[in-house]
Structure 1
Amino acid sequence: MIIKTSKYHPKLFSDRPYQMCSKTVMDTTDVNIYFDEDGVSNHYFEYKKEAETQLLKEPERTKALNETLDQIKANGNGKRYDCLIGLSGGVDSSYVAWLVKQYGLRPLAVHLDNGWNSELAVHNVNNIIETLGFDLHTIVVNWEEFRDLQLSYLKASVIDIEVVSDHAIQATMFQLASKFNIDYIISGTNIVTEYILPSSWIYPKLDFTNLSSIHKKFGSYKLKTYPHVPFYKYIRYTGFQKLKPFSILDYVDYNKKDVLPILENKLGWRNYGGKHCESLWTKFYQNYILPAKFGVDKRKAHLSTLVCSGQMTREAALKELEKPIYDKEELANDTEYVLKKLVLSQNEFEAIMNTPPIPHEFYGTHAHYKKYYKFLLDTTKPIRKAFKK
């Protein structure tokens, strides 16, 4: 059987025989997947290794959590905030907000308004901020600049269009950490619900060289206000002024079925009905553009992680994949809305969808800068150590 990766490009990843992991629902739509003699994929073994080495057992887990919380509070003593949290209004970030309140932290919440928020997302974010009493910094991007960047990525035919949003969020996090002298960012990334995500489906978010090259080739508007991290700032933020990440969900029992009632009852949170559907753009991108053009169904990665963590059976995951990824009527309405907002005709959009995918690296990366940066870090390590003391 030959893998059919895309309705537009059915042989995009060559004539590789189709195979699905016997333990998860990951398959050869991930071009880098490989299997052992029993048909078990690398994703299963990589998850198990990560879970065994990074997910602590009790009482060590609670001890490590408390030690980190004490360190965050100590570092934030006398400051306006002791940590940053991202707040999209989705399950993970909303539960992080709930937890940091319970643990007595003083976060600055950061939210991106890129013009694609659903009304439900706005409702959830506002409810959370009002209920928990947090300060909120909202990144309101210039729509013409942001739209121009999204169109550039569509025309470039690269897979990770979400770089446009994620880069702006990370750039703003760095700026706020510098402004308020914040040492920690508490994120919703976690092992048990989202560890599996093939590298071939995403691209590094902080590669501004790649972003600016794509925009220079396909864009029209000058990026005057778009939050970004050029490489000299990348050096500053990652080498000299590090923002320490803390994945708090890895230090608690995190099962979404148990978490949803808490969010609904305590925060007035309302469900979107799908992962990342708080953003109308992300919903359309993940549920239509990725499957139709790139042959990527992100549900496979998400469901496979839940299978590995024991939150779902493989049989239930397979049944979930049998469901349509998009309701036909809903897709038609969303397509009309997206094209109108982007000022794209149906013909222009079809032309974009029919353009063969192109690797991000084709447009240039900051890899060569990172090579010299690593050399600089290695050679200046003694000096930086002495300066720290």
Structure 2
Amino acid sequence: MIKSKYNRPYKICKCCVMDTSDEDIIFDSNGVCMRCNEYKERILPEWNHGKGHEKELDILIKQVKESGKGKKYDCILGLSGGLDSSYMLHLAVKEWGLRPYVFHIDAGWNLPVAEENIRRLTDKLEVELHIEKMDWEEMRELQLAWFRTGLESLDVPQDHAFIALIDKLSRKLGIKYILNGYNIATEAVADPASWGRGGGPTGDGTYLKDVIKKHCKKPIKHYEFTTGFKHKFWIPYVLGVKTLKPLNLVPFTKKEMTETLCQEYGYIPYGQKHFEDLITKFLEGYWVPTRFGHDIRRVWLSTLVITEQMTRDEALKILDQPPLSEEESRELFCEVAKRLEITEEELWSYHELPECVEKFKSQEKLYDFGIKIYEKLGIEKRIRR
């Protein structure tokens, strides 16, 4: 059963499906939430569903190719096996003729279907896959540490590892362009800030080190850290490494992405965004809805609604059903406990922890300031509130 806990009378947006499970949501006089209004005012006019950006895209591709002359690779691309990064790889290689250094982080939580999808894409596109295998004992301890905090955002250990590896590769390889699969079509709306209170920014090494200091029972020696300063300022503005989001310059829908990948590579869809990863599937499909009353599908579905890929009624119909069946949830619960080498009783004890009130060191204010600047400069295309 999914929890419902609100600090005010329940209300849902008249345009999308975001609701008062976000404690900070604001509605206008017509009952439309601030995300829908921000999308219409700030995002849509420039994006225009990816249409009209042909010249801009052509210039970017030429710049990437020019920077890679005489080198084995002209860009870096992280491949999770998810829909966005997979479609990004397809376009980069097959449509644009780029030569990406393709890497994948194996944090110990890969599902077999994701590994099969990755293999099918890289084999058919004939690109070399570089796998960074994390130290499982450290990853296990890090994951347990985040469970012990009682926080909602529990996939920080592997998300930070991805960001840190990007930073490391950009320096090590001397490649000046990173292809990022973020796109407005499937990710315009970010998770509400109120859902992640108590923690810190995923890319903030200060936050991670404080959690490790307070909640890790074993030393962490091999894990790679980065910082917001390094990731957001030093690497792009001093070293000149640019992160590109070219999917925003191409017209497509989620349905078209899926159909292309299925037809070209025999890609197997996961049913829900981020369900290619065991721990993320467990957290987003079971843990967060039942412990915190937050359904990540509201974010993804609202994006599809406001970008006109789905009707609001269709989204509401999906939300009428839980993300996972009771049987699937039970299987995942058992599997996660087994992987973490703890009893199911211990895992359940974390589920029943009181809401986290512990304070962790972080650079959150600096991150928030940076995002506001990026929004004013037109660099930040995501609705972050």
Q: TM-score, normalised by structure 2?
A: 0.88
1:23 partnered with 2:21: no
- Are the counterparts in 1 of residues 201 and 362 from structure 2 also a CA contact under 8 Å? no
Please name the residue that 1:52 is paired with.
Answer: 44
Please name the residue that 1:245 is paired with.
Answer: 243
Structure 2 CA distance for aligned equivalents of residues 295 and 337 of structure 1: 22
Cα 1:369–1:299 shift into 2, 3 Å: closer
Deviates more, 1:84-93 or 1:252-261: 252-261
Please name the residue that 1:379 is paired with.
Answer: none
Which residue, 125, 134, 137 being the options, matches 1:141?
134
Q: Equivalent residue of 1:109, what SS? A: strand
Structure 1 CA distance for aligned equivalents of residues 161 and 253 of structure 2: 29
Q: TM-score, normalised by structure 1?
A: 0.87
Structure 2: gaps spanning 5 or more residues: 371-385
Cα 1:58–1:196 shift into 2, 3 Å: closer
Structure index of larger Rg: 1
> How many residues in Structure 1 have an aligned counterpart in Structure 2?
364
- Are the counterparts in 1 of residues 75 and 178 from structure 2 also a CA contact under 8 Å? yes
Deviation at 1:80, TM superposition (A): 2.1
Cα 1:325–1:349 shift into 2, 3 Å: same
- Are the counterparts in 2 of residues 195 and 305 from structure 1 also a CA contact under 8 Å? yes
Deviation at 1:133, TM superposition (A): 1.6
1:195 partnered with 2:188: yes
Which residue, 73, 77, 85 being the options, matches 1:81?
73
1:212 partnered with 2:204: no
Cα 1:152–1:74 shift into 2, 3 Å: same
Please name the residue that 1:380 is paired with.
Answer: none
Deviation at 1:368, TM superposition (A): 7.7
- Are the counterparts in 2 of residues 89 and 124 from structure 1 also a CA contact under 8 Å? yes
Structure 1: gaps spanning 5 or more residues: 374-389
Deviation at 1:58, TM superposition (A): 8.1
Cα 1:348–1:240 shift into 2, 3 Å: same
Which residue, 157, 161, 181 being the options, matches 2:154?
161
Structure 2 CA distance for aligned equivalents of residues 324 and 184 of structure 1: 40
Deviation at 1:205, TM superposition (A): 1.6
Alignment of 1:1-389 (within 5 A): 7=3, 11=5, 14=7, 16-56=8-48, 60-101=52-93, 102-197=95-190, 198-202=192-196, 203-230=200-227, 233-234=230-231, 236-358=234-356, 362-367=359-364
Structure 2 CA distance for aligned equivalents of residues 209 and 92 of structure 1: 29
Structure 1 CA distance for aligned equivalents of residues 279 and 285 of structure 2: 10
Letter in 2 for 1:291: P
Structure 2 CA distance for aligned equivalents of residues 200 and 75 of structure 1: 41
Identity %: 36
Structure 2 CA distance for aligned equivalents of residues 255 and 314 of structure 1: 16
Deviation at 1:312, TM superposition (A): 0.1
Deviation at 1:359, TM superposition (A): 6.2
Structure 1 CA distance for aligned equivalents of residues 25 and 177 of structure 2: 34
Cα 1:27–1:131 shift into 2, 3 Å: same
Cα 1:175–1:359 shift into 2, 3 Å: farther
Letter in 1 for 2:323: I
Q: Equivalent residue of 2:178, what SS? A: strand
Structure 2 CA distance for aligned equivalents of residues 339 and 50 of structure 1: 44
Letter in 1 for 2:59: E
Calculate the aligned-residue CA RMSD, in Å. 2.4
- Are the counterparts in 2 of residues 56 and 251 from structure 1 also a CA contact under 8 Å? no
Deviation at 1:52, TM superposition (A): 2.6
Letter in 1 for 2:181: G
